[in-house]
Amino acid sequence: MSRINTPASIEASPAASQGMLEAVKKQLGLVPNLFRVIANSPAALEGYLGLNGALAKGKLDAKTRERLALTVAEINRCDYCLSAHTYLGKNVAKLADAELDANRAGESSDPKAAAALRFASSVARERGHISAADLAAVKAAGYDDAEIIEIVEHVALNTLTNYINSVAATDIDFPVVKSRG
């Protein structure tokens, strides 16, 4: 059971969050528990949706974004995000089960994606204090400066949701996937 209030409906959420939750429902067809927990703070919900929406318009494709989310969720042992992004990776980004499994370990069958995941793993584990070799490796794989900044922002965005879900013990409303850690 969640340790932080999960409003039962859009109408039970703070008034200032309701329009944003309606937009989530329109886009996804439902409002996952993560969004309803964050909606306790309209400012936090606005910030999360703003960064998430901006990054969706970035240079990294949906497959890479889902791969990054899985890598970071496994590092942070967030079962909610592992469950959500396994579902999204499989059903939206159309990643195969073997690829999803590899992504959780920070690897990929795609060499360029693997470089991004290794870099993201270093960023997450080292809290941004990566080595020159880490940066050189992701650049050698073909990522430009804009894409590297987006990878770092995806690590931060996913760490944010991992922490919220871990603190809140958000009830998982996707097929459950447990972290290996």
Confidence of residue 87 (pLDDT cuts 50, 70, 90): very high
Q: For 127-141, give one letter per residue: b (16+ CB within 10 A) or e.
A: eeebeeebeebbeeb
**CA angle, residues 32, 37, 39, in degrees to nearest 5:** 95
Helix, coil or strand: residue 57: coil
Question: Closest by alpha carbon to 117, among 84, 51, 79, 72?
Answer: 72
Residues near 117 by beta carbon (within 8 Å), at least 6 away in sequence? 67, 68, 71, 103, 106, 107, 108
Compute the average pLDDT of residues 6-22. Answer: 98
Percent above pLDDT 90 for the chain: 99
Q: Is the pLDDT of residue 130 over 90?
A: yes
What's the CA gap between 30 and 178, in Å, rounded? 23
Phi, psi dihedral angles at 58 (to 5 degrees): -75, -170
Compute the average pLDDT of residues 150-172. Answer: 98
Compute the average pLDDT of residues 142-151. Answer: 98
Question: Closest by alpha carbon to 142, among 118, 111, 173?
Answer: 111
Residue ranges per domain, the chain? 15-56, 62-168
Compute the average pLDDT of residues 28-49. Answer: 97
Q: Is the pLDDT of residue 1 over 90?
A: no
**CA angle, residues 16, 29, 93, in degrees to nearest 5:** 115
Compute the average pLDDT of residues 153-163. Answer: 98
Confidence of residue 32 (pLDDT cuts 50, 70, 90): very high
Instruction: Tell me what pLDDT residue 181 has.
Output: 82
Return the CATH superfamily for domain 62-168.
AhpD-like (1.20.1290.10)
User: Token digits for 27?
Assistant: 């886009």
Compute the average pLDDT of residues 67-93. Answer: 97
Instruction: Tell me what pLDDT residue 155 has.
Output: 98
Residue written as token pair 């927990």:
37
What's the CA gap between 170 and 176, in Å, rounded? 12
Confidence of residue 23 (pLDDT cuts 50, 70, 90): very high
CB atoms within 10 A of CB 78: 24
